[in-house]
C-alpha cells in the first residue's frame, strides 16, 4: 500500500512528520503528497436554482478548500491515468492525520482479495457508519458507505462520476459524496475501520 497523503501547502511540518513516523512504524515505507488548497478566505453564497444541503453561507473556508482539494486530486489522477493507461488503476487516498490500527495490513490484504470485482470505492477509514444501513458481503466487507475520507481506495472508473457530481459545492465533501455520488457507484466499507484520525473522535 503506497498512499497519497492529502494535505495543504502550509500544513504544520510537525504534524506531517508525526504522520510519516507513524506510517513507517506501521510498515508503510513510501507515499506521495497531494498539496491542496487550505481554503482560508473563501466563502460560499446562495445561487438561485441550485440545490444545497444546509445554508451555503455556513460553509467555512476550510470546508470549501477540502472540496476543492479532493476534486482536483481526482482530476489529476484521471489525467495521469489517461496519459499512462497501462499504469495504476486504483489509488489509496489518506488524510494527513491518519492513524492506522494495529494489524491493519492483514485485514487490508483480505479485503483486497475478497471485495466484489465491481467495486468503485472501498472505505478502509470511515465514521458515522452503521452496519444496519449496509449489506454484509463477507468478513469485514459491507456494501454501502458512511462518512469521513481519512482513508479510501478509489478506482479509475469512478473518477468521472466523482468529478461530475461534486463540481458544485453543495455541502462538506464527504456529505456531498454520500448524497450525490455513491448512488451511482459500487461502494464498500470495511468494519471495524482500519484507521482513525489523530486526536479526533469518530463514532463507529
CA–CA distance, 37 with 186 (Å, rounded to integer): 29
The residues with which 58 forms a beta bridge, in sequence order, are: none
Percent of the residues in the chain that have a pLDDT greater than 90, as a whole number: 70
Is residue 203 very low, low, confident or very high in pLDDT (cuts 50, 70, 90)? Answer: low
Domain covering 4-197 assigned CATH 3.90.550 in the classification: yes
Asked if 143 and 190 touch (Cβ cutoff 8 Å), the reply is no
Return mean pLDDT, the chain: 92
**How would residue 151 be classed by pLDDT, with cut points 50, 70 and 90?**
very high
The domain limits of the chain are 4-197
Chain segment 92-150, per-residue pLDDT in tens:
999 999 999 999 999 999 999 999 999 999 999 998 887 778 999 999 999 999 899 99
Extract the C-alpha cell encoding 60.
467555512
3-class state of residue 127 by DSSP = strand
Q: CB 113: neighbour CB atoms within 10 A?
A: 8
Burial class (CB in 10 A: 0-12, 13-18, 19+), 70: buried
Amino acid at each position: 500500500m503506497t498512499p497519497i497523503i492529502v494535505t495543504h501547502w502550509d500544513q504544520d511540518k510537525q504534524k506531517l512528520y508525526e504522520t510519516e513516523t507513524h506510517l513507517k512504524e506501521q510498515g508503510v515505507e513510501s507515499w506521495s503528497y497531494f498539496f491542496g488548497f487550505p481554503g482560508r478566505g473563501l466563502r460560499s453564497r446562495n445561487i438561485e436554482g441550485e440545490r444545497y444541503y444546509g445554508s451555503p453561507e455556513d460553509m467555512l473556508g476550510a470546508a470549501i478548500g477540502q472540496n476543492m482539494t479532493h476534486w482536483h486530486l481526482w482530476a489529476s489522477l484521471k489525467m495521469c491515468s489517461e496519459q499512462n493507461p497501462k499504469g495504476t488503476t486504483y489509488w489509496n487516498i489518506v488524510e494527513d492525520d491518519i492513524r492506522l490500527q494495529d494489524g491493519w495490513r492483514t485485514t487490508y490484504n483480505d479485503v483486497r482479495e475478497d471485495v466484489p470485482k465491481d467495486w468503485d470505492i472501498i472505505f478502509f477509514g470511515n465514521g458515522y457508519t452503521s452496519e444496519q444501513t449496509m449489506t454484509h458481503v463477507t468478513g469485514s466487507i459491507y456494501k454501502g458507505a458512511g462518512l469521513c475520507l481519512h482513508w479510501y481506495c478509489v478506482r479509475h472508473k469512478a473518477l468521472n462520476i466523482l468529478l461530475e457530481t461534486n463540481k458544485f459545492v453543495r455541502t462538506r465533501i464527504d456529505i456531498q459524496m454520500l448524497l450525490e455520488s455513491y448512488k451511482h457507484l459500487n461502494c464498500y466499507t470495511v468494519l471495524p475501520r482500519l484507521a482513525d484520525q489523530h486526536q479526533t473522535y469518530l463514532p463507529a
